[in-house]
Structure formats: C-alpha cells, structure tokens
Amino acid sequence: MNLAIEVKNLSFAYKETKVLDDVSFSIEENSFTGIIGPNGGGKTTLLKLLIGLYKSTNGSIKIFGDDPEKFTNKIGYVPQINMYDPAFPITVKELVMLGCVSSYSFRSGYPKSSVDSAMNAIELLGLMPYLNTTFGQLSGGMAQRALIARSLASDPVLLFLDEPTANVDPKTRDLIYEVLNTLRSKKTILMVTHDLNTTIKYVDSIISVEKKVSTYLPEKICEHFSLGLYHTPLMKEKENDNN
Amino acid sequence: MTIIDMFTNPFFQTALIAGLLASFASGIVGSYVVVKRIVFLSGSIAHSVLSGMGVFLFLQRKYNLMFLNPLYGAIIAAILSAVIIGWIHLNYSQRKDAVIASIWSTGMAIGVIFISLTPGYNVELFDFLFGNILWVTKLDLIVLCFLNLFLIVVVGINYQKLLAICVDEEQAKLQGLSVNRLYLLLLCLVAITVVLLIQVIGIILIIALLALPPMIASFFTNRLWKMMVIAFIFCGAFNFIGLVISYQFNLPTGATISLVATAVYLTILSFNRQKYKKIYN
C-alpha cells in the first residue's frame, strides 16, 4: 500500500497557544480514517494543515510524497456547515459546480467532464430533485449532502470532511456513511467526527487528536476509551506503566 | 414646468443617461457587495474618495491645471483606498473594522482640507457629498461609459471566480484560485462603481444605491446573475423617478433618489416580513 499522507513532527500554534505539538502519523492510500478528539483539541486545525489552508510552525506534511499545495484541486473538503450564509442567492447545482470552478473557462464554460462529475455527485447524494433549490432553503441534512457533492465534483483523490454528520438526522447520517463507504476503494477519506459509535463500523483506523496524536484500530478504540473520553498518549504511557 | 419641457431639457437628458450608466454598475457590483457583506467596507472606499477629488480640485484651481478633473482624482483615490483596505482586510486579524473606519474619516479629512484651501467659492464640496447629476458633462458621460464597459468585461470574465470567493473563500483557495487577488479585484470594481455613483448620488448617500437595489432584487431571485439584472432595473427606475420628482419639486436629486429607493425597499419588505422575520428574539 502507498502512503497517501505522511506527517512528521508537525507543530502548529495560534500566536502563543500551541494547538498541535510534534505530531507524526501516516495514512495509507484508499483508506477511511476517522479523526476524534475533544472540542479545541486541534482536529479542524489538523485538517486545514493537511489540505494546505494553514502553514505549520514546524514539521512536514507530504501528500503522495509531495507538498499539499500541489494537490489543491485534487482534494475535496467539506467544512462545518455553520460557515454558510443562508441568504446567499445560489442554487444547489451552482454550489456543486463551484467544486470544479478551476476547470471553468470564460469562453467555453465548464468542460463536459466536470459537468458529468458534478452531476454524478449530485445523483450519488440524492439531490436531483433539489437542483434549482436555493442552498439556504435546504434542511441541515440536505445542505450537508450538497456540501459533500461539491467536494466530490472535481473527482478528488483525497476527501476531508469536518463533522459531516453533526446536526443531521439518523437517516441522513446513514446515507452519508453509505456514500463514503462506496467511495473508500477509490479515495483516501479523512473525517472529523464526534459520532464514534457509527464511525467505528466503517473506518479502517481512528486518529485521536488532543495536541498530540494517537492512531488506533477501530476494534481497539473502546478498550482505550475505558480510561477516559479521549485517550491521550500520556494516558497510554500511564496504562503501560500500570501493566 | 411641463413633462415635455423636462424631457427636452439637455441637462435632464444627460442626467438620465448618467443615471442609467450608474445603474449598470450598481446592479452588478452592488450585488457582489451585498452577498459578500462588504457594505461597510464599500462605504469606507466611497468616503475616502473625497481626498482625491479635493486634491485634484485644489491643483486645478490653484495652478490652473484644467485637465485635472476631480473625477480623475476620484478614480485614483478610490482604487488606492480599495487596495489599502483590501490589504488591511487580508492581513489584519483583529479590529480591522476600526482601521477601515479610520481610512473612511482620514480620506474625508484630506478632502475637506484641500477643498477649503482651494481658491474661489467652493460649491463643489456640496456636490461631491450629495451629488449633482444635473451638472454631469458630456466628457463625464464618456468617462462613465468607459468605466462601465471595463466593469462589464471584467465581471463577465470573472463571474464564476468572484462567485466562488463570495460563497466560500477556503473552498475557492482549495480549487487553486488566487483568492487574495480576486478579493482585491472585487474591491477595485467597488471603487469604480463608487466613482460612477458619486456623479448621481454623492459620497454620503452612495450606500443607498449600492445596497438597496440588490437587497430588493434578492426578494425576487435565488441566482446572483438574476439579482444583478433585477437590481439594475430597480436602480434605473429609482434614478428616473428620483430625477422626475426632484426636477418637479425642486428637491436635491441625490437625496430624492435615495428616499425613493428606501421607500420601495420598505414597501417590498413589508410584503415579505413573515419570510424575513427572526424566529427568536
């Protein structure tokens, strides 16, 4: 298996506040990884570092052996839904098409391959009946589906999702997991989540983030969590000492 | 004065054309301003334009440099303040609203000082602040035509990219778009629009024509390009109605246009109040 993501000694601080401290881990190509951790633990920051939106203070990130900036339009990113202005005048179709805006040209518009890819994503997420609906008028679950469709419009090799199942009903949550499950053989997926119970059924591994990072197999995570809500490396050391 | 007298008056005809040209800009760029929520920032660009107008008027009168039309000063000051404000917006993380407000007042202060130093009786200050569409010259119309043409071409080419940065800057950056450059371009388009609207409504009332027509248009559509078209139609109508009323009743044109726009906005809002009412107080 090739490594899709390789992080070495990564640190990041917001001014004086250190959010990630000397973090190292790797993720295999075409795997599905869940990222868990407490609020403010650095999950979203880690995601934004991986996609190249933030610059690290120290350490290195390699995406398929290269800098993240070189993979800009090959990365699909689903941000937290509360970032959006519900009054923005944009339809679902327009929003999804913006997921491949880099392929747009003034003279010929979007190429057929981009339109096909965007329409496939819309169909996959069950959004065909909502093509011309205003994005802001969608329910939370539908809006989340539209954001996932947008992230898939450019047919990315890496897919990063920031709490895509937060504030959605169980039916939509299951649909999102099913969609991600169908994509796992073709894309490397990283998903920040608090929904551990469902996540462990689907993912290949789980990364726990709280300044430091620990990687677990899903079947082992409950065992570690018996020591506390988020099992930190420090706790792991204590556990080993006790044993 | 009869209606025929009014429409055959060359001042009125020129004013109508100037209003129509300004409406193009208001519809197109005003829609971006409203959806991107940069109305305050645009107000700052508008007010700092007085510095350029004041400096050029001073140089024109004091040193008899007649080619230094205050309109050119407005263009330079608008672009310059757009770039400075854009730079602050992109690089300052805290209290940028206070810094932008300082540019707003500094620009006006420079303008007022230069206008006060300008020899002769300065009626221009009132025209700059509140607009005087009836004094638009043929040369002004030509300049306005070129500015509009530039605006339409630039927005036409960059429509999708500007839409992308208005919806979600992070996503646009991930798509490989040069977000900072596009943001500065948008502010420069705002600057050009400000210059176009100053002729009609003046610096102080500019926000009315920049924000109200797109806000009204947003009641009727869920597409940005349609919002631009509807805003253009409304803005053109406000200019026309405002001009007719001000001409008939000898009222200040800019203020009349502004009040017509506000009255229409409030009327349409009252019909849609259930839709836009806050659920929680």
- The pLDDT tens digits for B75-100 are 999 999 999 988 888 887 667 788 88
The ipTM estimated for the assembled molecules is 0.83
* Alpha carbons B17 and B4: distance in angstroms, whole number: 17
The answer to whether B224 contacts A90, with C-beta atoms less than 8 Å apart, is yes
Nearest CA in chain A to B178: A102
Q: What is the mean pLDDT of residues A54-64?
A: 89
Residues 176-195 of A with CB under 8 A from B: none
pTM for the model stands at: 0.86
What percent of chain B clears pLDDT 70, i.e. is strictly above it? 96
Closest CA to B208 of B42, B50, B96: B42
**A243 lies within 8 A of chain B by CB:** no
Hey, where are the domains in chain B?
Answer: 3-274
Q: What is the mean pLDDT of residues B149-168?
A: 94
**A159 lies within 8 A of chain B by CB:** no
Q: Which of A53, A75, A88 sits opposite B167 (nearest CB)?
A: A88
Pairing of strands A32-36, A17-28: unpaired
Q: Which of B171, B221, B222 sits opposite A77 (nearest CB)?
A: B171
> In this predicted structure, what is the pLDDT of residue B276?
60
Q: Which residues in chain A are contacts of B35 at CB distance < 8 A?
A: 85, 87-89
Choose from A67, A74, A77, A101 for mutation: most chain B CBs within 10 A: A101
How far is residue B121 CA from its own chain's centroid? 27
Closest CA to B25 of B209, B159, B163, B203: B209
Classified as helix, coil or strand, A129 is helix
d(CA A100, nearest CA chain B) in Å:
7
The answer to whether B222 contacts A53, with C-beta atoms less than 8 Å apart, is no
Backbone phi, psi, residue A11, to 5°: -130, 150
Pairing of strands A75-78, A17-28: unpaired
What's domain A3-83+156-242's superfamily in CATH? P-loop containing nucleotide triphosphate hydrolases (3.40.50.300)
Q: Which residues in chain A are contacts of B163 at CB distance < 8 A?
A: 90, 94, 98
> Which residues of B lie closer than 8 Å to A, measured between beta carbons?
35, 37, 156-158, 160-161, 163-164, 166-168, 170-177, 218, 221-224, 226-227
**Residue type for A176, please?**
I
The DSSP code sequence of A44-55 is: HHHHHHHTTSS-
Asked if B264 and B216 touch (Cβ cutoff 8 Å), the reply is: yes
The pLDDT-based confidence of A169 (bands split at 50, 70, 90) is confident
Classified as helix, coil or strand, B152 is helix
Query: Is pLDDT of B158 > 80?
Result: yes
Q: Which residues in chain B are contacts of A106 at CB distance < 8 A?
A: 156-158
Q: From its phi and psi, is residue A113 left (phi > 0), alpha (psi between -120 and 50) or beta?
A: alpha
The pLDDT-based confidence of A70 (bands split at 50, 70, 90) is confident
Q: Which of B167, B174, B218 sits opposite A72 (nearest CB)?
A: B174
Strand partners, A160: A77, A190
Q: What is the mean pLDDT of residues A52-60?
A: 87
For tokens 């988020």, name the residue. Answer: A230
Sheet holding A212-216, edge to edge: A75-78, A158-162, A188-192, A32-36, A205-210, A212-216
Contacts of B189 (CB under 8 A, 6+ apart): B29, B32, B151, B154, B155
B3-274 architecture in CATH? Orthogonal Bundle (1.10)
Q: What is the pLDDT of residues A110-145, one digit of tens each?
A: 999 999 999 999 999 999 999 999 998 898 889 999
Q: What is the pLDDT of residues B2-54, one digit of tens each?
A: 778 888 888 888 989 999 998 998 999 999 999 999 998 899 999 999 999 99
The answer to whether B35 contacts A79, with C-beta atoms less than 8 Å apart, is no
The answer to whether B161 contacts A100, with C-beta atoms less than 8 Å apart, is no
Hey, where are the domains in chain A?
Answer: 3-83+156-242
A196 CB burial (10 A radius; 0-12, 13-18, 19+): middle
